[in-house]
Homo-oligomer: A and B are copies of this chain.
């Protein structure tokens, strides 16, 4: 029985029928539909000689014992956002299933191979993404805060996860799952436009961006739009406008995939007869290198102060959130590049803007790499999310090649 990438596509369609509706995928973690998807996955693996376990954080493990306890992990997440796409997370899991089948068919592998279906990557119901992988990585903290979280219907997170035998008090016991982990692989749709614009089916992910998120508030003076001459104005919106345009220059000057976004502006009083008194701007800056990210932030701060001075207004910064860049393993990146070239001719290395379970595993110092497959129109988290079937099949082949190379590497270490 050889690898059958077309079976992966068929199974993804089967899962879509089982757990989606006319609005898209509905496999929100800790719901009945998610439970249905997990049972369906379990059944898909019932004919393989794998041990099935569920860890203390709700992650599903399928372990094919090898000659060594050293383990290659292949991961994904079968949960989705509400009205989500058919591929985000599920592709990773089902491609892993197919690779596991091929390896099992060939007999006992030299190293242990484990497929993991991470619990609640999306955080759609309780706003806590990467739940299962952060527990396994040991980076999940602030349990008191998590205990307070409730969904839109008022159900608490502890109540919801208890129905799946998960308890915040013991969730971190999932850390033991990574004890013998020697490498971690994850395939994912790109969720961006880069591979499509390069007309490439596949790419290798260098790591996940570090992120700096701030609210930047410019404060000027409300004044009558009719009776205040242009040279008497202290227009907060002018500061915001200059920063919006300068942010793009900062990203371009920094290069190496840098992105800076002003995602929104709220103007007050925000009426047609008044100069804007305050403009609250949402800023998001991302880079794969910590020093360049810090430099971008510092440049944006300096620019905002310069603009405030030019406009005789004030500016203040408040951090909303930040995370450091997480770099994937250089040796595995090389192997992934080889695998992609073998199945698709050309490869491309790119950073990941969105976070993934792989970032948590890399933070736990397990050598990690991801493969991206092209997304059509860069869309995800919508039923319009899609990828060419031919590219999906190529992605299963590339993951399979990469798994073989990683097994060889782990086995020889």
Residues in chain A within 8 A of chain B (CB atoms): 190-194, 197, 209, 211, 213, 223-230, 232, 235, 237-238, 240-242, 244-245, 248, 251-252, 257-267, 269-276, 282-284, 286, 320, 352-354, 378, 380
Contacts and interface: CB of A to CB of B under 8 A. Distances in A.
A75 to B, nearest CB: 20
A273 B323 CA distance: 14
B353 A227 contact: yes
A118 B9 CA distance: 77
B224 A191 contact: yes
Given A230-B251, A251-B230, A263 B272 contact: yes
Contact of A224 (B213, B245, B353): B353
A302 B384 CA distance: 36
Contacts of A262: 237, 276
A252 B257 CA distance: 39
Contacts of A227: 190-194, 352-354, 378
16 contacts: A191-B224, A225-B284, A226-B354, A228-B378, A229-B257, A237-B262, A238-B244, A240-B241, A263-B271, A263-B273, A263-B274, A263-B275, A263-B276, A264-B271, A265-B265, A265-B270
List the number of copies, as a whole number: 2
Q: Which of A194, A261, A286, A352 has the most CB of B within 10 A?
A: A261
B259 A225 contact: yes
Query: Which of A227, A241, A378 gathers most chain B CB within 10 Å?
Result: A227
A206 to B, nearest CB: 13
A323 to B, nearest CB: 11
Nearest to A275: B261
A260 B272 CA distance: 10
Given A228-B353, A263-B276, 20 more contacts: A192-B224, A192-B228, A194-B232, A197-B232, A223-B378, A224-B380, A225-B353, A226-B259, A226-B352, A228-B259, A237-B265, A238-B244, A238-B248, A241-B242, A263-B270, A263-B274, A264-B276, A266-B267, A272-B282, A272-B283
A378 B223 CA distance: 8
Nearest to A282: B272
Given A238-B244, A264-B276, A272-B263, A286 B225 contact: yes
A226 B353 contact: yes
A282 B271 contact: yes
A84 B193 CA distance: 55
Nearest to A263: B272
A5 to B, nearest CB: 25
Contacts of A284: 225-226, 272-273
A53 B78 CA distance: 82
